Amino acid sequence: MNNQNGPSGICSRNTSQTLPKVIWIISIVSFFSNAASVIITAFSAEFIINILGGTPAAMGYIRGLSESLSYLVKMVSGVFSDWLGKRKILILIGYLCAAFAKPMFALCENLSVYVSAQLLERVTNGLRDTPRDALIADCSPKELKGKSYGIRQSFAFLGSLVGSVMGFLILWQFGSSVFTIRMVYFFAVFPIVIAVLLIYFGIQEPNNITRLKDRKGFPIKRADLRQLGLNFWYYIFICFLFMCARYSESFLVYRVQNLGLQVKYAPLVLALMYLFNSPTSRIVGSWSDEYERKFFLAFGFCMMLVSCIVLALATEIWQVVVGIMIYGIHYGATQSTFYAIVSDYSPPQIKGTSIGVFNLVCSLGMCISNIMTGELWKHYGPEVAFFVNSTIIFVAVIGLIFIKPKKTGR
């Protein structure tokens, strides 16, 4: 697919190695979106377990099922964006819905309402994310693909860092009462409003995205999927295996709270993680355009393995903090690399669908991981939960050896 003639040159590819304007706008949007979303994650353990009376297993089911629903919607939105040949409208609708979902958390009085809010929040996430990542693929020069995803992810992590710090400062100033936490949830809507305005006024997409709307029958054909090849499907399998061990960050917060950390410091736990996420994502994204991407993915997998072991053995808060920092490095190294490799494999006409397939497989893996982690935690303790996850990750690391990346002309 050739995107050299995007509107106003916004997606134009050039030889100056300059990223298109749309990449920067999407990155800033991710900054504001994550600044709002991180609050939900930071206080979910406190809210579910201590305020609403749930258990670690309940938290695992809630996070696992909601993440799965999010990734399932990502699959559908990817196919639909390919069918329309439009990405912006789905991205905009997703962020608009998120602006309505955030205040629901402030009004939760029981687990059922919280579950409804969580599911709605993750559906909006799924609706926008795949079209957004496909738009990045549409507009990024081939030689800067990893850098484009890395910058977007870096801004997202930076937003999470800022949101975490702001959450801590509010609780530090006004206390960690239930009322204060609810107010923090309520005010999380404002960064989302800024994101919506940036999308509406700042993003233009190329006019020549391949459109499948005029096809008869279902827009995605077997011939399209066959173009992905066996190597793509093996890569997807390894990603699924890894996701079966990637649990929600809520378990990181709960782990450190188990050892006595006060709830007002919970946002700082995630802030520390994102402090390591952001620069790692930026660096790895750029380097993966120059060197083999799977080596960076292997590095990220190994960091997750080490993090699980540290968290399993931790008996003091500082040890959990070290595990969380390593978890942050893993997340930064893997996220942009995941999508860059998927984009490498994807035929032009089904980039959204390919990313959607990846997200669907991730949804199944993360559902398994969160439910498994919650149940193991409830019945056998966090040590067993983290050791089981580390075993799965070790198998995924071995599987990475046999991945054959597609030649992309880097």
Instruction: Give pLDDT tens digits for 192-235.
Output: 899 999 999 988 877 666 555 555 555 556 666 677 778 889 99
Task: Categorize the per-residue pLDDT at 105 as very low, low, confident or very high, splitting at 50, 70 and 90.
Answer: confident
* pLDDT at residue 8, as a whole number: 40
Please determine, for residue 402, whether its predicted confidence score (pLDDT) is greater than 60.
Answer: yes
Across residues 272-276, what is the average pLDDT? 84
**CA separation for the pair 368, 303 (Å, rounded):** 21
Q: List the CATH code of the domain at 17-209+220-400.
A: 1.20.1250.20
More confident residue, 219 or 388: 388
pLDDT of residue 17: 61
Sequence-separated (6 or more) residues with CB below 8 Å from residue 297:
333, 334, 337, 338, 341, 400
Percent of the chain's residues with pLDDT above 70: 89
Q: How far apart are CA 377 and CA 190, in angstroms?
A: 35
Listed ranges 13-22, 213-222, 312-321, 359-368; the one with the highest mean pLDDT: 312-321
Query: Residue 380: which pLDDT band, with cuts at 50, 70 and 90?
Result: very high
**How much is the pLDDT for 3?**
41
Asked if 377 and 388 count as a contact pair (C-beta separation under 8 A), the reply is no
Provide mean pLDDT across the span 245-273: 84
Decide if pLDDT at 326 tops 50: yes
CB-based contact 279:403 (threshold 8 Å): no
pLDDT greater than 80 at residue 243: yes
pLDDT at residue 145, as a whole number: 76
pTM above 0.85, yes or no: no
pLDDT at site 397: 95
- Cα three-residue angle 161-162-167, rounded to 5 degrees: 100
Q: Which of 66-80, 240-254, 308-322, 356-370 has the lowest mean pLDDT?
A: 66-80
> Does 350 score more than 90 pLDDT?
no
Q: What is the mean pLDDT of the chain?
A: 82
Alpha-carbon distance 397 to 297, whole Å? 9
At 393, the pLDDT band (50, 70, 90 cuts) reads: very high
How much is the pLDDT for 214?
Answer: 56
Please, which pLDDT band fits residue 244 given cuts at 50, 70 and 90?
very high
**Does residue 309 or residue 177 have the better pLDDT?**
309
**Burial class of residue 351 in the structure, from the number of CB atoms within 10 Å of its CB (0-12 exposed, 13-18 middle, 19+ buried):** buried
